[in-house]
Amino acid sequence: MRELELAGYCRRRSDGKLIVAVQDWSRTAEPLVDAVPVAVNEAFLQEDVTMDIEAFTGETYLAAMKEKLEKLRSGETRLRSLHIRLLVPNFKKEVAVPSVVGAPHDPSARERQDEISQDVVTLLRDIKRLQTDDYGSYAFRVKVEIGRLDYFTPWDKIFIFNGAKVLRGEYEVVQVQVSYKDRLMKINDFRGFDVAMSTSEEESVVRRTIKQFESKWLLADVVEL
């Protein structure tokens, strides 16, 4: 059952009971908090793992990675290589979201989001530090890249796992009151943590999504951590 759970064919409810899939989940919409951890577990069944993410910040993905990171640190999970590419907006340039309501040229909302996104960079650096060849014949190579795209608003949250599986969910724009530098302001923001995600392993869908991602990546300012 543990192998089936890792592969995403079953999952545990909050009460601990195990649910076994009796349908093809690949074409159903699931909450993001369920879909991403399942896909991460499935991806980590391979020795060489690639993950391409197009997102607002990437926070949700990193939250889903926490358990895997602990297992990589302890040596419980061993990979040969891990390559992560995260495509996000350049918050130093104007974007539709985040923005101050009624004052789209005010940089305050973007400055606030840029500071928040530094937490993601810190976590990605932690992933990079997992690279090792200290365990005898065991060598684990890690490559982490962040691509920041000017004037880019990601209306969809997209994950591509091992070039074979795609998760996609639509962000929802919400207006929220926030405090930044002793100032209260109402901003346009994204709600993305609990959005429904559609999943596909259909070759044409995966190929088209990869092509779109690569086109944007080509235009981004890419930094390897």
The predicted model gives 16-42 an average pLDDT of: 56
User: CA 68, CA 74: separation in Å to the nearest integer?
Assistant: 10
pLDDT tens across 49-78, in order? 999 999 998 887 777 777 777 787 777 777
What pTM did the predictor assign? 0.81
Where residue 209 falls (left for φ over 0; alpha for ψ -120 to 50; beta otherwise) is alpha
Identify residue 157 by its one-letter amino acid code: K
What are the boundaries of each domain within the chain?
2-224
pLDDT tens across 98-153, in order? 999 999 999 999 999 999 888 888 888 888 888 776 555 566 888 999 999 999 99
pLDDT tens across 157-168, in order? 999 999 999 999
Residue 11 confidence (pLDDT): 44
User: CA 125, CA 145: separation in Å to the nearest integer?
Assistant: 10
Residue 207 confidence (pLDDT): 96
Question: DSSP 3-state assignment of 86?
Answer: strand
Identify residue 39 by its one-letter amino acid code: A
